[in-house]
A and B are shown apart, each in its own frame.
Chain A
Amino acid sequence: DAGVIQSPRHEVTEMGQEVTLRCKPISGHDYLFWYRQTMMRGLELLIYFNNNVPIDDSGMPEDRFSAKMPNASFSTLKIQPSEPRDSAVYFCASSLVGPAGELFFGEGSRLTVL
């Protein structure tokens, strides 16, 4: 079975542009998480979904960030407008329900905003 698939792997854009990151979770997983990783702040949970419904978006830094999960096999994280401080690696992860709840991570999308 394919793992979590993210695209693009690398994105370089200019300040003010819209950025859309995409994620395909593992089939059958109930939960989907979006994380941001930077050297300064480590791993930050931005938002997570359960059965396509956003459960907790308290980690979304500003209104410039939005996330959707229109169906069980696809999610997007959008930044509009982008700023240099948004430069980071963004990870998507999925998991099954239950206390074990192992997270399966994608390979990440490295975003550079100039």
Chain B
Amino acid sequence: AQSVTQLDSQVPVFEEAPVELRCNYSSSVSVYLFWYVQYPNQGLQLLLKYLSGSTLVKGINGFEAEFNKSQTSFHLRKPSVHISDTAEYFCAVRAGNNRKLIWGLGTSLAVNP
């Protein structure tokens, strides 16, 4: 069975500082990996995804993530955050042809001035 662990439930950071949101997964088969963002009182939207190929994936709003198969990780990074990045971030994994996404519990990113 697959599982996703987001290692930090809350990450406070100052504006213009770098940030890393950590995600580890477990799966016995090949996976597709996703990061979604949820702004207050909104639905989730896709930030980026890893399907295959280059392990460094770039997404919207200046975010990027690196797939590390040996460490079964897919950490999300941004070199300089803005106040507007304050949101909940979810890591998710899909194994093979299974349509179901397995979700992490989310990381709340709070960007302070």
What is the number of contacts between chain A and chain B, taking CB atoms within 8 Å?
49
| Chain A residues, CB < 8 A from B44 | 91, 93, 103, 105
Q: Contacts A4-B43, A91-B43, A108-B43: A103 and B106 contacting too (C-beta < 8 A)?
A: no
Q: Contacts A99-B32, A100-B49, A101-B94: A106 and B43 contacting too (C-beta < 8 A)?
A: yes
Judge whether A14 is part of the interface by a CB distance below 8 angstroms: no
CB contact between B45 and one of A50, A101, A105 (< 8 Å): that residue:
A105
Q: Which of A40-48, A65-73, A77-85 contacts B (4 or more CB under 8 A)?
A: A40-48
Q: Which of B12-20, B65-73, B77-85, B97-105 contacts A (4 or more CB under 8 A)?
A: B97-105
User: CA–CA, A4 to B90, complex, Å?
Assistant: 19
**Pair A101/B43 contact, Cβ less than 8 Å:** no
- How many residues on the A side are at the interface (Cβ–Cβ under 8 A)? 21
Judge whether A34 is part of the interface by a CB distance below 8 angstroms: no
Judge whether B46 is part of the interface by a CB distance below 8 angstroms: yes
Query: Chain A nearest CB: distance from B87 CB in Å?
Result: 13
Query: Chain B nearest CB: distance from A88 CB in Å?
Result: 14
Judge whether A114 is part of the interface by a CB distance below 8 angstroms: no
User: CA–CA, A102 to B49, complex, Å?
Assistant: 9
| Chain A residues, CB < 8 A from B32 | 99-101
